[in-house]
Amino acid sequence: MTATTTTSHRTRPARRRLSGPLAAVGGQNLSLAGGLVVLLALFGSLNDNYLSWANIQVIAEAVTISGLLAVVQTVVIICGALDISVGSQAGLASVISAMAFTSSGANPWAGMAAAIGVGLVIGILNGVIIVYGRVNPTIATLAGLAAYKGVADLVSNGAAQGYVLNDPVFIFLSRGKIAGLPVMVWLLIVVALGVHLMLKYTDIGRNVFAIGGNDTAARLAGINLNKYLISAYALAGTVAAVAGILLTARTGSGQPVSGSEGLELQSITAAALGGCALKGGKGGIGGTLLAVALLGALQNGLTVQGINSFWQNVAQGSLLVVAVVIQQRRSGERAVGLPA
């Protein structure tokens, strides 16, 4: 082999792999944690109150609802699917919880049970349409985004419904604290930990990754793809309903639209930024939660600095594009329609 041919076949240097405890954390998560530290330091240097405990709690409470949706979005994406309707599901559940609360004589448990029941049914409906209707998940849940928002507007006439401001259960959900942390944050921790353990240490989790990684191989291995996909959407619907209940608790009434707009984009951005491959088979709850914290810190920092909320949406959309580009480069994928 000549020197010329050796040069023409130059190969990329092998990536240095992490070892020991760092390998368990993962390079993606370390990058996110580093980015979060830089972001906190930057905004902390610009505003004396940004790193105060009070503001940290504000950030944590603000990301609770989007964090819950991002956790279940992670499960759906690992399955190789997508749920664009989670924001509308949360909005509808918020309305249902407040209306059921009012109609049951101010019974908060009736309100929450009704919302969770509706969320579970919607989630199963999404899964059935995709599995048995053979509709692309993106199209099916895009239709759900419009349909569930429409139902919420129809039953509420597009206005806030019911008032839970004086109910002790909803007050506890919105303002209560356990060991110094808001109850809402504890709820996110419990849900995230449960899903993480399920994905990492159970056969269910291993099958979810297998389905997203290679559905044909998973089917040949005897895994019931339909059951798992419907279950993933049922989980998404149920947790979206919990997010809707928290939305009602925070705002004091059922919110058909205002509080739930953009939650679907936030959940997808967090999952993608946290390391989920949009083609499925890869991702984790730790990365998603770090991305949720990073997005919350960015949004709060921009708000504290008086930046227009429109620019916050631009920043969030840009982060989603960056996350997808990074994922495609890592996996060697190319965008649809582009030449190889």
- pLDDT for 50 equals 93
pLDDT band at 220 (very low <50, low <70, confident <90, very high): very high
Calculate the average pLDDT of the chain.
87
- pLDDT for 334 equals 53
Residue 299 amino acid letter: Q
Residue 310 located in a structural domain: no
Residue 260 has pLDDT above 70, yes or no: no
Closest C-alpha to 145, from 27, 71, 236: 236
Residue 132 located in a structural domain: yes
Residue 337 located in a structural domain: no
235 vs 321, residue with greater confidence: 235
Residue 48: Cβ-neighbour burial (10 angstroms; 0-12, 13-18, 19+): exposed
Residue 249 located in a structural domain: yes
Residue 87 located in a structural domain: yes
What is the pLDDT averaged over residues 254-263? 74
What is the pLDDT averaged over residues 51-74? 93
pLDDT band at 86 (very low <50, low <70, confident <90, very high): very high
Give dist(CA 335, CA 159) in Å, integer.
41
Residue 29: Cβ-neighbour burial (10 angstroms; 0-12, 13-18, 19+): buried
What is the pLDDT averaged over residues 77-96? 94
pLDDT band at 304 (very low <50, low <70, confident <90, very high): confident
Residue 94's domain comprises 61-260+277-283
- pLDDT for 138 equals 94
Residue 53 located in a structural domain: no
Closest C-alpha to 94, from 72, 119, 73, 121: 119
pLDDT band at 180 (very low <50, low <70, confident <90, very high): confident
Domain count, the chain: 1
Residue 187 has pLDDT above 60, yes or no: yes
- pLDDT for 215 equals 92
Q: Percent of the chain, pLDDT > 70?
A: 87
Q: Give the range among 111-115, 203-207, 261-265 with minimum mean pLDDT.
A: 261-265
Residue 12 located in a structural domain: no
Place of tokens 């950030």: 59
What is the pLDDT averaged over residues 26-37? 84
Q: How many CB atoms lie within 10 A of CB 4?
A: 8
Residue 186 located in a structural domain: yes
286-290: which pairs have CB atoms within 8 A and are 24 or more residues apart?
Answer: 286/25, 286/26, 286/29, 286/196, 287/26, 287/28, 287/29, 287/32, 288/70, 288/71, 288/73, 288/74, 289/67, 289/70, 289/71, 289/192, 290/29, 290/32, 290/33, 290/36
Cβ within 8 Å of residue 106, ≥6 positions away: 167
CB 206 within 8 A of CB 57: no
Q: Give the range among 82-91, 137-146, 219-228, 326-335 with minimum mean pLDDT.
A: 326-335
